[in-house]
Structure 1
Amino acid sequence: MSGSTHGTLFRVTTFGESHGVGLGVTIDGCPAGLKLDVEAIQQEMARRRPGQSRIVTQRKEADGVEILSGTFEGKTTGTPIGIVIYNQDQRSKDYGHIFDKYRPSHADYTFTAKYGHRDYRGGGRSSARETAARVAAGAVARQLLAHYGISIHSYVDQVGSIATGKDHHELDLGLIDTNDVRCPDPTTAATMEQEIMAVKKAGDTIGGVVKCVVRGVPAGWGEPVFDKLHADLGKAVLSINACKGFEYGSGFDGVTLRGSAHNDAFYTDEAGRTRTRTNRSGGIQGGISNGEDIYFRAAFKPVATIIADQESVNESGESVTVVGKGRHDPCVLPRAVPIVDAMVALVLADHCLRARGNRL
């Protein structure tokens, strides 16, 4: 089975390469009758696109979406939705110097080992540019989820060693897009931006952490045992380029607590709903949503391409020097935020449809 398809009922297949004609996605399973806001899709694309600020790659792509099928009179028809995004600013000649060389910590060697033939222009299918198609699909999924009152809020929580140090309840998530870093803590965001610019000036890169908070998911979503909600979220987020780690709820910090301190006690609120007094479970218990906020953190490594010479080997096994050049992000975090949003939306849209058939 192709690794380019995601989902069971809300099913998406992406295609395209960084320096090809364009990228695209087919969305199969989106219910009919959803009023589709094309401008909202374009807004999500703008959040991911390159060249949007001085702290991201300066490749100039408008990332305009063209919907080819699956809609009529502004609503989905229930048939496959086809979306294409054309590339406009490829500079394939910039990669001629590595046509037979393996860039350190890139997918050059592994793609060659798997397929025996690779597209070296910007990394081809392994490029983060592939995520443009995911964001387009995720924007459709978010509109489906909004119909059920579900919202997704991802933000930059840490860059290098600079972190907000705050729980998401202490932050105004409405401030996420008020700065280039996409951190809802303005003071920390300014320090993060200074760090990114210093790293960029040095020709280096830096990583960090994206945190995501999902509100409004009802209790009962998730498919034990292999399609547990947190397992599907983890797989989706870890499929994003440069993502190196995923933890939900109390995560790794939870191992320092005893069960008596870690357990989330249940109570019945004034509306008669079953709630938990704490949320160390991250809104998921037994692989099924419990109605509380779902939250997780995802670690992203420093971008592998740096503006410096590095030792490597070529396809013949000979020692070579890989010369650092091209247009790349000094920090992937600001543009990773809408990609995390998109992957979470795709998972939740799929589980939304699957939950509808769980019982009479």
Structure 2
Amino acid sequence: MAGSTYGMIFKITTWGESHGKGIGVVIDGCPAGLLLEREDIQKFLDRRKPGQDRYSTKRREGDAVEILSGVFEGYTTGTPIALMIRNTDQRSEDYNKIADYYRPGHADYTYDEKYGFRDYRGGGRSSGRETAGRVAAGAIASKLLKELGVTLTTYVRSIGPVSIETFHPEEINRNSLNMPDAAAAERASEYLEDCLRKQDSSGGCIECIVHGLPSGVGDPVFEKLDANLAKALMSIGAVKAIEIGDGKEVSVTTGSHNNDAFVGENGEVRKKTNHAGGILGGISDGSDLILRASFKPTPSIFTTQQTVNSKGDNIEINIKGRHDPVIVPRAVVVVESMTAVTLIDSLMTGMSCRLSNLKKIWN
């Protein structure tokens, strides 16, 4: 299967299936000398693991990471880092019936059309569980970014019709929905309770703000920073739209409003506003980078749905198993991780853009 590798210099390859023996990632291109402990990675994985609250799947996975290679005496060696998370709570029998039909909103049909065969246990490779490998890689990418003074703040901006109205960063980790607005989190919980009563699910939006990213990151034309971020986030299974800065709102505004005026402050160039979201011409401009990812509702719902079986017969189904009524809170760290992987790869790629950079290293 092609398509499981991402990045140019900081390159990640995820592997494994939802109900296989395990899942993981191989990271190639991480520089030597980074202090890296298992707990650095585990903290990220703990943010996405299932079974932590009422609004996530009841599948109980410890998601304990194992470092198989690339680290010696607590430091990265510059060789490929292999990480594995074993699957311990599969209930594959829950999925036996779906071998013969296609679940609405899932990749069952398209996988069959492409490969003529699919692992139907929990969605196999198309399962959201695949993202654990991305998160493990994102933990390392985030630690590298911190070494360069770059940090990320990621949170749930909206769930269904409920959006945040205030922003208190300290509140993000105080509620299970990862919203920086306590009142909005309470309203969103009430909305999700209604979804549960109706045996339905909800979508939502995640916002990520990158602080301290220097100007000049990204490349023109086909390797624009915003283009690569969009690809990275759209590769997350349930993401259906990406916005940078003002996003789709720019289509209803004017140039006089949308243009960010430049000003000089203590000899440095700054912007008075940030409608562009920190990127101009595909290259970072030194402002906070602001991006949003919109997630569709979880397709596995318990109400009766219409579909077809593998013979093409029209049938009605009631899906069983353990599923998230909303995946957005658990996906916060996935968005953060893919953003971090993209940024560190872009920073590494950009080191060769000037002769003076090469001279700093090699002279």
Q: TM-score, normalised by structure 2?
A: 0.96
Query: Contact between 1:98 and 1:322, CA under 8 Å: does it hold in 2?
Result: no
Give, in whole Å, the separation in 2 of the partners of 1:44 and 1:36: 13
Give, in whole Å, the separation in 2 of the partners of 1:200 and 1:306: 9
Code of the aligned partner of 2:201: T
Query: Contact between 1:246 and 1:298, CA under 8 Å: does it hold in 2?
Result: yes
Code of the aligned partner of 2:92: S
**Match in the other structure for 1:38:** 38
Give the secondary-structure state (helix, strand or coil) at the position aligned to 1:328. coil
Cα deviations across residues 197-228 of structure 1 (Å, max 9, x unaligned)?
22123211011111111111000000111010
The Cα shift of 1:190 comes to 1.2
Give the secondary-structure state (helix, strand or coil) at the position aligned to 1:122. helix
Count of matched residue positions in the alignment of Structure 1 and Structure 2? 355
**Match in the other structure for 1:335:** 330
Give the secondary-structure state (helix, strand or coil) at the position aligned to 2:122. coil
For residues 1-360 of structure 1, the aligned pairs below 5 Å read 2-166=2-166, 171-270=167-266, 272-360=267-355
- Structure 2 unaligned segments of length 5 or more: list them: 356-363
Higher helix share: 2
Cα deviations across residues 3-25 of structure 1 (Å, max 9, x unaligned)?
00000000000000000000010
Query: Contact between 2:165 and 2:184, CA under 8 Å: does it hold in 1?
Result: no
Give, in whole Å, the separation in 2 of the partners of 1:137 and 1:25: 7
Code of the aligned partner of 1:175: E
Give, in whole Å, the separation in 1 of the partners of 2:93 and 2:26: 30
Give the secondary-structure state (helix, strand or coil) at the position aligned to 1:260. helix
Give, in whole Å, the separation in 2 of the partners of 1:175 and 1:141: 25
Give the secondary-structure state (helix, strand or coil) at the position aligned to 1:321. strand
Cα deviations across residues 99-137 of structure 1 (Å, max 9, x unaligned)?
110001110000000000000000000000000110000
Give, in whole Å, the separation in 2 of the partners of 1:88 and 1:40: 22
Q: TM-score, normalised by structure 1?
A: 0.97
Cα deviations across residues 233-269 of structure 1 (Å, max 9, x unaligned)?
0111111111111111111111222111211111111
Cα deviations across residues 323-360 of structure 1 (Å, max 9, x unaligned)?
22110000111001000001001100101111111112
Cα deviations across residues 69-118 of structure 1 (Å, max 9, x unaligned)?
00111110000000000000000000011111000111000000000000
Considering only aligned residues, what root-mean-square deviation do their CA atoms show, in Å?
Answer: 1.1
Give, in whole Å, the separation in 2 of the partners of 1:341 and 1:216: 15
Code of the aligned partner of 2:32: A
Q: Percent identity at matched positions?
A: 50
Give the secondary-structure state (helix, strand or coil) at the position aligned to 2:315. strand
Query: Contact between 1:101 and 1:315, CA under 8 Å: does it hold in 2?
Result: yes
